Each structure stands twice: as C-alpha cells, then as structure tokens.
Amino acid sequence: MNRPPLILASSSPARRQLMERLKVPFEAISPEADESARPGEPPEALVLRLAEAKARAVAEHRPDALVIGSDQVAVMEGEIVGKPGSHERALEQLRAASGNRITFHTGLCLFNAGTGSLQLDRVPCTVWFRRLTPRQIENYLRKEQPYGCAGSFKSEGLGVTLIERLEGEDPNALIGLPLIRLVKMLEREGFDLLEG
C-alpha cells in the first residue's frame, strides 16, 4: 500500500519514544513555531492552536506527508504552570502541587499536507499529587532534574512516585502524545496500523 510519509513535528525525545511504540516508520522534524500564549487565550485553545501550528510548519517543507503536531500545557487552579527552567522554580511548583491537582491538556493535530485534511483534538489528563515532604521534593528534583518539563513533572520517569492517582482516557497524553486518539486519526486517513 502506498502511504504518505508520516512525520512527527517534534524535537521531544519522549514523543519520539511514544511514536516508536506504534511500530511504524516515521521521521521526527523539529517545527519552527512561536509557542507564546496570546493575551487571554484559554489553555484548551492554546494547545489546539499550537498543535496545528507545529504540524503546518513542518508540512510547508513536506507537502507529501501526514504530519503529527502535539502541544501540552499544565494548569493548576486556573493558571498555566510552565516549564520551571531552574531548581528554585521547580521547588516552588512542586510545593504548590503537593496535595493538589494539575490538569495536563494535550493538543493533537494530524494534518494531511497532500489533501489539506486536518484533524484536531484535545486530550486532558488530571494528576492528583501526593502530599510531599520538602525532602521528597528535593530528592526527586536532584534525581530527575525535570527543569524542561511543565509543572516540574516527568511521569515517564521518577515523577510516577509523586502521583496519588490519574484521571484521563489515555496515560500517553500525560507524556505529550495521546496515542489512542492518534491511532483513530490515522485510521481516518486510511493508515491502519494493524493492517501491515
């Protein structure tokens, strides 16, 4: 079967690892997209806009491809929780998250550059954090160093030790690429992963 090439519009190693689980050839290309939020833009709208922008940015250079774009935003008490970037900021974020919950909104886009067909969706996953001691937070940060992760939380690693429970339809969404939804989108494009 002659399928269009599949491209993941991402430089994230975690997203690449998730894609590899689907056992299908793909290419990963880092998108050039402005990831700034617009004034007053709700997180749910932001992740959809950015997922689409990433897919379209890569599709400009690959007009023959099916391009996957994804973006994630963490929200606690109505406020976006960004990537900490430093140890001090990560300490603040995890102190605030202790005994609290953060909802991770993941936007997903599948853009067929050849036909112009676009599928866009958002998959939320809520994480309830355990009550954490200052020592637990410090040890976690020293071992994991999640300074480039939203909310200072890396669920695919030691971050699992911080979780009380999860609520969501796809645990992969928490890592940044909702595979269950992606499989459905690919099937709508005639890309059945179990057909061969």
Beta bridge partners of 8: 28, 68
140-157 per-residue burial string, b: 16 or more CB within 10 A, e: under 16: bbeebebeebbbbbbbbb
Beta bridge partners of 127: 102, 166
List the catalytic residue out of 34, 64, 71, 170. 71
Rounded CA Rg of the chain? 17
- Token pair of 71 as six digits: 């973006």
Specify whether 71 is catalytic: yes
Closest by alpha carbon to 35, among 46, 43, 21, 23?
46
Q: Across 77-171, where does the E strand assignment appear?
A: 79-81, 101-112, 118-129, 163-168
Q: Cα(144)–Cα(58) distance, rounded to whole angstroms?
A: 31
Which residues are annotated as catalytic? 71
